[in-house]
């Protein structure tokens, strides 16, 4: 509109912007004067202007060599949005690393810290804002620097380093740690830096060699999977032609990493269970803290469980075992499982039971219904949830009704997409966005169909349609007992626990001790034999599957039974979620508990084992 033209005095343009509040909140005359002085003195300047529509404009001014002034205006809205997203991603990553049971840091080629998790910062006694960008020699003592220089130089040459050393924390305490430096490799083979990990091994000095070998082997597998994933992602960025291979590599890495995380999570779960049993002896603040820790561990367990399900589905590791499933047993068992969660939210959960029998995989069908019930309870504020079934010709439709917030029609297709979550005022917490994706994929693998009907603001109905069992497939089965039957079988019972992780044995000993049992701990077959020399065998055995030196829990229990010439009841506990192990344990007649072990399930299993022993 003729505002800008050649020869237009710059002061008038500045005056125009100042009068419209685009130069700040100060007086118009002062803002104009300040900017004219900048230009007259030849100062370079930069500032950002944010508009009401959230656009961000970067304004830069620079004097020219021959006189005059150049001002540039750049729209940096997209850059700012990306910057905000990266900041949110960094917060999410820090949440996970700060809860990892080890010290973790990243150092670049110049020897400067670029990242450190909470445990590392506590060890160094330096806040996060002070350690980033700081050189190693400014953080470590001279003695610590001499200990690690050779390892760091080798890591920067691309060589992985494993070593043990004694560390002195900022508070003066000393402890032994197993250190690992893992170099980061760029696409061209250069090493821009390395990851440093330190794990406290003070309580495991006697088992040092075996643990180091196991850890080195495990980290080697992680390193191999990481390289596979890196190569796959490089190929994807270059040509986007090998997406399937990239997905396989991601799945393998995810399954391996999740398996490793379940080990310390299992130990933590056991210890919090002991603290929960002691609630009456704790102060109010401590009781609240125990509940918060238990809730955080539960959330981590849910996340790892969902990731494990996705990884197994991605790798085709799940093989359905079709059998006759009695809904008259399954549906009441699910109501009993979810009743406490519903009551905690002020909801009612009802079951409409029919003595129908369907043909499906019992565990996978149960998983589908568990995920549907979790979603129904999560998104229902008032009212309740109904679980029931209807016959549809040769099929049975199992339905989950809720009186929750409902789903808008345009969102119905999106709810089955992985990591997709629909924001709703009706939910008291946010899920992971994986539950319904897992439901759809398991149902597809089983050949079952999923249906959903919903009215926004009124509620939803999710259903899975399963073939009815034929007369020849139907079998008469005794009612399934759910939950723990109170009794005194655990009181005084001698329980053998075998695990190669000392922290897991400590947690198990504390938990069994609270139940009145006599826990007897061993890390191998030889230790278990020596433990009972000249004594009667235990009442039951709880054995981890993966032990040191190639031993496994199933073989160990078989050898002990042969040694004692008695079929001592036992159960195998494992972080291995493979179908092969489940089938192997089932064939040998051993119950299988997956880590992290829920105390109620552990107690119910022990009670069942002791009942079996008493009946024998």
pLDDT, tens digit (0-9, with 9 covering 90-100), for 394-446: 999 999 999 988 888 877 777 777 655 665 544 555 555 567 888 888 898 89
Other C-beta atoms closer than 10 Å to the C-beta of 50 total 11
Quote the Cα angle for 567-568-573, to 5°: 120
Q: Among 112-121, 282-291, 350-359, 476-485, where is mean pLDDT lowest? A: 476-485
pLDDT at res. 238: 75
Contact (CB, 8 A) for 346 and 402: no
Q: Which of 21-25, 78-82, 248-252, 343-347 has the highest mean pLDDT?
A: 343-347
Structure tokens at 322: 């079709």
pLDDT band at 479 (very low <50, low <70, confident <90, very high): very low
Contact (CB, 8 A) for 310 and 438: yes
pLDDT at res. 575: 81
pLDDT, tens digit (0-9, with 9 covering 90-100), for 167-196: 887 788 888 888 999 999 998 889 999 999
Distance CA 109, CA 322 (A): 56
Alpha carbon 107 to its chain's center: 25
- Domains, in order of start, for the chain: 10-75 (no CATH), 90-274 (3.30.450.20), 322-467 (3.30.565.10), 494-615 (3.40.50.2300)
pLDDT band at 159 (very low <50, low <70, confident <90, very high): very high
Q: Is 54 exposed, middle or buried (0-12, 13-18, 19+ CB in 10 A)?
A: exposed
Structure tokens at 373: 């019930």
Helix and strand tally (H, E) in the chain? 18, 20
Give, in order, the Cα–Cα distances in Å from 94 to each of 11, 244, 264: 49, 30, 18
Q: Which is more confidently placed, 261 or 159?
A: 159
How many alpha carbons fall within 13 Å on the CB side of residue 113? 23
């Amino acid at each position: 509109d003729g505002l800008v033209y050649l020869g237009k005095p710059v002061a008038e343009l500045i005056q125009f912007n100042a009068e419209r509040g685009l130069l700040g909140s100060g007086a118009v005359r002062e803002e104009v004067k300040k900017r004219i002085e900048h230009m007259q003195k030849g100062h370079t300047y930069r500032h950002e202007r944010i508009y009401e529509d959230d656009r961000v404009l970067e304004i830069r001014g620079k004097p020219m060599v021959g006189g005059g002034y150049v001002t540039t205006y750049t729209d940096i809205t997209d850059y700012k949005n990306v910057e905000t997203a990266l900041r949110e991603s960094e917060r999410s990553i820090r949440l996970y690393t700060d809860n990892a049971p080890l010290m973790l840091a990243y150092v670049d080629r110049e020897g400067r810290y670029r990242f450190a998790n909470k445990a590392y910062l506590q060890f160094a006694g330096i806040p996060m804002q002070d350690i980033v960008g700081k050189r190693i020699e400014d953080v470590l003592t001279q003695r610590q620097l001499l200990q690690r220089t050779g390892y760091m130089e080798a890591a920067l040459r691309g060589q992985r380093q494993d070593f043990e050393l004694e560390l002195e924390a900022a508070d003066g305490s000393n402890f032994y740690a197993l250190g690992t430096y893992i170099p980061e490799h760029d696409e061209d083979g250069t090493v821009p830096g390395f990851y440093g990990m330190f794990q406290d091994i003070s309580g495991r000095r006697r088992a040092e060699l075996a643990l180091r070998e196991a850890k080195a082997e495990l980290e080697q597998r992680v390193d191999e999977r990481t390289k596979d994933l890196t190569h796959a992602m490089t190929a994807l960025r270059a040509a986007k032609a090998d997406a399937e291979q990239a997905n396989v590599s991601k799945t393998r890495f995810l399954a391996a990493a999740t398996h490793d995380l379940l080990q310390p999570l299992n130990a933590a779960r056991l210890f919090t269970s002991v603290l929960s049993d002691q609630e009456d002896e704790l102060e109010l603040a401590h009781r609240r803290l125990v509940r918060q820790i238990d809730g955080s561990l539960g959330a981590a367990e849910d996340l790892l469980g969902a990731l494990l399900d996705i990884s197994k589905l991605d790798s085709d590791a799940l093989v359905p075992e079709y059998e006759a499933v009695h809904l008259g047993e399954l549906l009441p068992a699910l109501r009993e499982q979810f009743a406490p969660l519903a009551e905690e939210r002020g909801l009612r959960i009802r079951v409409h039971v029919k003595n129908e029998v369907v043909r499906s995989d019992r565990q996978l069908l149960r998983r589908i219904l568990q995920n549907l019930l979790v979603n129904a309870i999560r998104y229902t504020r008032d009212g309740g949830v109904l679980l029931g079934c209807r016959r549809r010709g040769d099929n049975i439709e199992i339905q989950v009704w809720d009186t929750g917030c409902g789903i808008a029609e345009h969102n119905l297709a999106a709810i089955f997409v992985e990591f997709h979550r629909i924001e709703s005022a009706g939910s008291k917490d946010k899920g992971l966005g994986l539950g319904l994706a897992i439901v759809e994929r398991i149902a597809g693998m089983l050949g079952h169909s999923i249906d959903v009907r919903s009215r926004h603001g009124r509620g939803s109905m999710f259903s899975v349609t399963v073939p009815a069992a034929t007369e020849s497939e139907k079998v008469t089965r005794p009612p399934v007992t759910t939950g723990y039957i109170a009794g005194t079988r655990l009181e005084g019972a001698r329980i053998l626990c075998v695990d190669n992780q000392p922290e897991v044995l400590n947690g198990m000993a504390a938990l069994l001790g609270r139940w009145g049992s006599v826990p007897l701990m061993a890390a191998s077959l030889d230790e278990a034999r020596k433990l009972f020399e000249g004594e009667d065998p235990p009442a039951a055995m709880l054995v981890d599957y993966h032990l040191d030196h190639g031993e496994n829990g199933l073989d160990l229990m078989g050898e002990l039974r042969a040694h004692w010439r008695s079929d001592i009841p036992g159960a195998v506990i494992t972080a291995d979620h493979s179908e092969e192990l489940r089938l192997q344990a089932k064939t040998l007649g051993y119950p299988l508990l997956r880590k992290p072990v829920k105390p109620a399930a552990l107690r119910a299993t022990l009670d069942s084992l002791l009942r079996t022993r008493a009946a024998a």
